[in-house]
């Protein structure tokens, strides 16, 4: 008998979190000029804001912060799913006004970028290039791969999150300490794999790591573009980005014919007026 009241309280909390995340509420006070900055928030604090006088602690990313952001992203994704259901309900009922509200809110959720300040703190610049053979970096890379193996990488449904998180830390350490190593694109790819497969709700970060892999090394041997396409398609439901990446797969990542065939099929499906387009929205 208490199911509905308790659920309504939970939904209210979820809506509050998701609203702040998606920009559906008034968050003008977060920035002095009322706009989301185009660059990293942490690097250009407002003149009178905390940290403007050189308090670098304000810009350090701690484990607790990452855990909180993980939870928030998970709630945001649940809100996205619930909002799509509500939109479909209004569509079936023919309520044009509320359907418009739901569509507007969905657009905001789809377009939100996951905590730019955290992404910029965690993910290095796209200007890095893998040009040097560095023994220490090779050792770190092998260590990260071994941790993933021990953690269950490649074994469906069975993995150890702690080892995957440790492996991600090793790959980030490699990139941070040896930014010219010829292993940085490999490390970035496996960072993407860890975030995609073993850290639910962090697909946006997975996508950024995949992008770094081919940005740092356009000829990377890993299927970074394909994996980014899959994330954009099935996890983030970003049809336009998915199509762009699937085209990149069939034009650039041609070694894996299975991936190429899959990309060609999804391009066809996503450009038809059918269920695939509706699902992508």
Q: pLDDT tens across 134-173, in order?
A: 999 999 999 999 999 999 998 888 899 999 999 999 999 9
More confident residue, 92 or 66: 92
Per-residue model confidence as pLDDT tens digits over 220-234: 999 999 999 999 999
Per-residue model confidence as pLDDT tens digits over 73-90: 667 767 877 888 898 899
CATH superfamily of domain region 124-280: Tetratricopeptide repeat domain (1.25.40.10)
Per-residue model confidence as pLDDT tens digits over 35-69: 333 333 333 333 333 334 444 444 455 667 667 76
pTM of the model: 0.59
In the chain, domain spans: 3-117, 124-280
Q: Highest-confidence range of 23-27, 54-58, 201-205, 232-236, by mean pLDDT?
A: 232-236
3-state SS record for the chain: CCHHHHHHHHHHHHHHHHHHHHCCCCCHHHCCCCCCCCCCHHHCCCCCCCCCCCCHHHHCCCHHHHHHHHHHHHHHHHHHHHHHHHHHHHHHHCCHHHHHHHHHHHHHHHHCCCCHHHHHHHCCCCCCCCCECCHHHHHHHHHHHHHHHHHCCCCCCCCCHHHHHHHHHHHHHHHHHCCCECCHHHHHHHHHHHHHHHCCCCHHHHHHHHHHHHHHCCCCCCCHHHHHHHHHHHHCCCHHHHHHHHHHHHHCCCCCHHHHHHHHHHHHHHCCCCHHHHHHC
Average pLDDT over every residue of 6-26: 33
């Amino acid at each position: 008998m208490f199911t509905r009241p308790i659920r309504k309280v939970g939904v209210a909390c979820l809506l509050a979190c998701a609203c702040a995340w998606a920009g559906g509420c008034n968050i003008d006070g977060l920035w002095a000029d009322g706009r989301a900055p185009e660059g990293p928030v942490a690097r250009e604090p407002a003149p009178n804001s905390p940290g403007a006088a050189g308090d670098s602690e304000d810009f350090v990313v701690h484990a607790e912060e990452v855990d909180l952001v993980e939870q928030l992203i998970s709630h945001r994704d649940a809100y996205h799913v619930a909002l799509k259901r509500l939109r479909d309900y209004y569509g079936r009922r023919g309520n044009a006004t509320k359907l418009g509200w739901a569509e507007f809110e969905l657009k905001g959720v789809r377009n939100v970028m996951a905590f730019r300040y955290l992404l910029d703190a965690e993910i290095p610049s796209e200007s890095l290039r893998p040009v040097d053979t560095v023994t220490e970096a090779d050792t770190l890379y092998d260590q990260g791969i071994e941790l993933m193996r021990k953690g269950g990488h490649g074994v469906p449904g069975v993995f150890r999150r702690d080892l995957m998180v440790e492996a991600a830390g090793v790959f980030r350490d490699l990139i941070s300490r040896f930014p010219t190593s010829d292993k940085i694109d490999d490390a970035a790819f496996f960072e993407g794999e860890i975030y995609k497969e073993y850290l639910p709700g962090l697909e946006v970060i997975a996508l950024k790591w995949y992008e770094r892999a081919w940005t740092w090394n356009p000829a990377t041997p890993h299927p970074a573009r394909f994996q980014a396409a899959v994330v954009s398609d099935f996890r983030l439901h970003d049809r336009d980005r998915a199509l762009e990446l699937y085209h990149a797969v069939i034009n650039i990542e041609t070694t894996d014919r299975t991936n190429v065939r899959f990309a060609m099929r999804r391009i066809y499906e996503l450009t038809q007026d059918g269920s695939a387009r509706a699902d992508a929205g």
